[in-house]
Structure 1
Amino acid sequence: MKKFRIGLIGLGGMAHSHMRWMAEEGRYEIVAVSDVNEAALAEKGGQLGIPEEKRYSDFVQLIEDPDVDAVVSVTPNNVHAEIVRACLLAGKPFLAEKPFTRVFEEAVPLLELFERQPAAGMVGFSYRYTPAFRYARELVREGKLGTVRSFSIQYLQSWGAAPNNTPYIWRFNQDITGTGTLGDLGSHMIDLARFLFGEFRELSAQMRTLIPERPDPATGAMVKIKVDDFVSFQARMSGDEVGIFQSSRNAIGSGNQHEVSIYGDAGTLHASTLNPDQLIWIREEAPGQLAKAAIDVPERCKVTQYGDFLSLLDGSASDGLPGFMDGYRNQEVLDAVIRSSAEKRVIEL
Structure 2
Amino acid sequence: MKTFRIGLIGLGGMGQAHIRWMSEMGGRFRLVAISDVNPPALADMGDKLGISEAKRYADFERLIADPDVDAVVSVTPNNVHAAIVRACLEAGKPFLAEKPFTRDFEEAVPLLALYERQPVAAMIGFTYRYTPAFRYARELVRQGRIGRVRSFSSQYLQGWGAAQYNCPFVWRFDKAITGTGTLGDLGSHMIDLARFLFGGEFLELTAQMQTIVPERPDPLTGEPVRIEVDDFVSFQARMTGDIRGVFQSSRNAIGSGNQHEISIYGDTGTIHASTLDEGHTVLIGEDGEGQLSRSTIAVPQRCRIKQYDDFLALLDGTETDGLPGIIDGYRNQEVLEAIVRASEIRSLVEL
TM-score w.r.t. structure 2 length? Answer: 0.98
Equivalent position SS for 2:254: coil
The Cα of 1:162 is off from its aligned counterpart by 1.0
Cross-structure match for 1:9: 9
Q: Please give the alpha-carbon distance, in whole angstroms, between the structure 2 residues aligned to 1:282 and 1:235.
A: 24
CA distance in 1, matches of 2:147, 2:192: 22
1:203 alignment partner in structure 2: 205
Give the corresponding residue for 2:84.
83
Post-superposition offset of 1:180: 0.2
Q: Distance in 2 between matches of 1:12 and 1:270?
A: 33
Deviation string 1:115-166 (CA, Å, 9 cap, x unpaired) is 1111010000000000010001011111111011100000000000111111
**1:254-269 maps to which residues of 2 (within 5 A)?**
254-269=256-271
Residue by residue over 1:24-50, the C-alpha shift from the partner in whole angstroms, topping out at 9 and shown as x without a partner, is 012110000001111111111111111
1:286 positional shift? 4.2
The amino acid across from 2:89 in the alignment is L
In the alignment, the residues of structure 2 paired with residue 213 and residue 286 of structure 1 have an alpha-carbon distance, to the nearest angstrom, of 56
Distance 1:286 1:52 in 2: 67
User: What is the distance in 1 between the residues matched to 2:103 and 2:31?
Assistant: 27
Kindly state the Cα deviation for residue 287 of structure 1 after the two structures are TM-superposed: 5.6
How far off its partner does 1:317 sit? 3.1
Counterparts of 1:80 and 1:225, CA distance in 2? 22
Q: Tell me the equivalent position of 1:118.
A: 119
Matches within 5 A, 1:123-272: 123-197=124-198, 198-272=200-274
Structure 2 segments unaligned to the other structure (5+ residues) = none
Separation in structure 1 between the aligned mates of residue 208 and residue 319 of structure 2, nearest angstrom: 36
Mapped partners of 1:217, 1:65: distance in 2: 36
- Which residue is 1:56 aligned to? 57
After superposing on structure 2, the runs of 4+ consecutive aligned residues of structure 1 that deviate more than 2 Å are none
Q: Which residues in structure 2 correspond to 1:304-343 (within 5 Å)?
A: 304-343=306-345
Query: Tell me, what secondary structure is at the counterpart of 1:137?
Result: helix
Write the distance in 1 (CA, Å) between the matches of 2:116 and 2:296: 45
Matched residue type, 1:330 = N
SS in 2 for 1:63: helix
Alpha-carbon separation, structure 2, partners of 1:217 and 1:187: 27
Q: 2-side partners of 1:36 and 1:134: how far apart?
A: 36
Specify the SS of the correspondent of 1:320.
Answer: coil
Identity of aligned residues (%): 71
Alignment of 1:102 onto 2:106: no
